[in-house]
Amino acid sequence: MTIWVLGDQLNRSIGALATAEADRDRVLMVLSDTKLASRPWHRQRAHLLLAAMHRFADELRAEGFEVDLRRAPTLEQGALDHLAEHSGEELVVTEPNSFDGHRLVTRLGASIVRSNQFLCHYSDFATWAEGRKQLKLEDFYRWQRRRLGYLMDGDEPVGDRWNYDHDNRERAPHDLIWETPPIDELDDLDHEIIARIDRDAPQCWGAPPDGTWATTRRGALARLGFFVERVLPGFGPHEDAMVERSWHLAHSLLSPYLNLGLLLPGEICDAVEAAHRAGAVPIASAEGFIRQVIGWREYVWGIYWREMPEYRHRNHLSATRALPPVFAAAAPTKMNCVAHSMAAVHDRAYAHHIQRLMVIGNLSLLAGVDPAELNDWMWSGFIDGAEWVMLPNVIGMSQFADGGLMATKPYAAGGNYIDKMSDYCGSCVYDRRRRTGDDACPFTTLYWDFIARHAERFERNPRMARQVSAGRRLDDLDAVRSRAVEVLELLDRGEL
């Protein structure tokens, strides 16, 4: 029997591998040339996937498995070539994490083993969602807490509160310093893979790998330990903050390992709960982080499978603008918040969730960028990118392109929000308080233009009606909208 391990299932405890035996089963892993060349990946993202697959193959060989790690034009061709060499052998695969992957293994006639890579299988999510007029994250999260038992005292939540999100929106103090995450030294395999990427995928962009991202389970576990012990206690209050002096703040940086299978959500949540029970982590930090894992992450996963394949094409606001030049690698911009967020992506294929949502996503929403183009850019450019992650987060949460399935209102904001949650505005050439004029903050100008453009659409939305009414009362609305035209032209030319 051949167990086909896909590149985002790199864990001995996942699916078909959990019961595999070295003296009975062989393992297939395919490195797809077409996948590498299919889009402009960030160099660090491409390196992480290739290096992690090579090292996981070596770990399985050390355990005694025969591993066929083969390079092929496509995943499908790699599987067919393997089967041709091992005639009559059954092909077994754990459920893929993508819609297209599931179609592929079904077409090949593989035996599919149910995945345990998430704590809520998408079929269980569908059962939970059935019959509900509106899907709410908070309802799903509480259902998860009860069924999984995290941070529970019997039937009640620890601390008698389900959610500490309101406590976790503080600006970061000027003197607060966050510890730098571990860095690994690159070895010969890393350099070989980097050379392959530069040779075979010249369209890749971004800074080369520097050891920030672990490529083994051992390295991922070390980073989990570092986060829980050194970083998690300060995670909660400032998880929505943005500062010039730190690209990571108190964020875990564990999402790429979760998404590749190097870590599993249960072991992460177990470690966080144990630290809280031991008195090392306050409840606001422990709850806030566990909510991201068993709440938001698994909610996004369930929405992806529930709405595919049509979800890819949602565009509720009819946004058609091409990605502006500021999205190009290391493109200059005078918008300080955008400059720092884009520099983080260029340097490490990473920006934390508020930079993604309220800077990069917010700018795209206000400017009317095509949500499919933004989704493709984020999927290719972020170290933790995957279709199931990006589609609901971009199409739904960030761009409101699904018409309100993921979010009851657009996450649109002007410069005041960015100033509230960051130190970016103080040194910016643009004035976040101004709507018009050459020095007006582009976010503030475009925010009020966005409200005006979509006033009829949102005037009956309970969470947007006040903004629509305020926009209609602006005495300089015509001037704001005229300035917005100039701002969008400058954005398209890369001159903001």
Find the mean pLDDT for residues 425-435.
94
Count of the separate structural domains present in the chain: 3
Half-sphere exposure of 128 (CA within 13 A, CB side): 22
**253 and 371: one domain?**
no
| pLDDT tens readout for residues 265-304 | 999 999 999 999 999 999 999 999 999 999 999 999 999 9
Flag whether 188 is in a domain.
Answer: no
Residue 257, exposed/middle/buried by CB under 10 A (0-12, 13-18, 19+)?
buried
Confidence at residue 59, expressed as pLDDT on a 0 to 100 scale: 97
> Are both 132 and 266 inside the same structural domain?
yes
pLDDT at 267: 97
Mean of pLDDT values over 237-254:
86
Closest CA to 238 of 173, 287, 295, 151: 173
Domain that holds residue 425: 325-493
Q: Which residue did the predictor score with more confidence, 7 or 87?
A: 7
Percent of the chain, pLDDT > 90?
88
pLDDT at 169: 67
> Does residue 368 carry a pLDDT above 80?
yes
> What's the pLDDT score for residue 240?
82
Long-range contacts of 371-374 (CB under 8 A, 24+ apart): 371/314, 371/315, 371/319, 371/395, 371/398, 371/399, 371/401, 372/312, 372/313, 372/315, 373/322, 373/323, 374/323, 374/398, 374/399
pLDDT, one tens digit per residue, over 73-105 is: 999 999 999 999 998 889 999 999 999 999 999
DSSP state of 337: H
Express each pLDDT in 171-187 by its tens digit.
777 777 788 889 999 99
Element (H, E) at 166: none
Is residue 348 scored above 90 in pLDDT?
yes
Last residue within a domain, chosen from 248, 276, 307: 307
Q: Are residues 220 and 289 in the same domain?
A: yes
Q: How far apart are CA 65 and CA 81, in angstroms?
A: 19
Q: What percentage of the chain carries pLDDT values higher than 70? A: 99
Looking up residue 128, the CATH number of its domain turns out to be 1.25.40.80
Q: Are 158 and 235 found together in one domain?
A: yes
pLDDT digits (tens, 9 = 90+) for 137-176: 999 999 999 999 999 999 899 988 998 877 666 777 777 7
3-state secondary structure 274-321: HHHHCCCCCHHHHHHHHHHHHHHHHHHHHHHHHHCCHHHHCCCCCCCE
- Same-domain check for residues 27 and 160: no
Pair (290, 388) in one structural domain: no
Within this chain, do residues 369 and 283 fall inside the same structural domain, yes or no? no
Give whole-number Cα distances, 453 to 343, 404, 436, 443, 458, in Å: 31, 18, 17, 15, 10
Classify residue 249: in a domain, yes or no: yes
3-class secondary-structure state, position 431:
strand
Q: Which of 64, 86, 113 is the C-terminal boundary of a domain?
A: 113
Task: Please name the residues in contact with 402: beta carbons below 8 A apart, sequence gap of 6 or more.
Answer: 307, 311, 314, 316, 395, 396
- For residue 343, being part of any structural domain is answered with yes
CB neighbours of residue 228 within 10 Å? 23
pLDDT at 72 > cutoff 70: yes
Residue 137 in any domain: the answer is yes
Q: What is the pLDDT of residue 138?
A: 94
For residue 176, what pLDDT is reported?
A: 75
Mean pLDDT of 12-30: 96
User: Does 477 score more than 90 pLDDT?
Assistant: yes
* pLDDT at position 268: 97
**Residue 486 confidence (pLDDT) above 70:** yes
Domain of 335, CATH number, reads 1.10.579.10
Q: Are residues 143 and 59 in the same domain?
A: no
Of 59, 86, 113, at which residue does a domain stop? 113
Domain co-membership, 147 together with 239:
yes
Do 156 and 286 sit in the same domain of this protein? yes
Global pTM reads: 0.94
Give me the amino acid identity at 477: L
The answer on pLDDT for 125 being more than 90 is: yes
Do 407 and 487 lie in one domain? The reply is yes
- Please indicate, yes or no, whether residues 54 and 105 belong to a single structural domain of this protein: yes
Instruction: Give pLDDT, residue 168.
Output: 65
pLDDT of residue 181: 87
Q: Which of 446, 441, 448, 442 is nearest to 475 (CA)?
A: 448
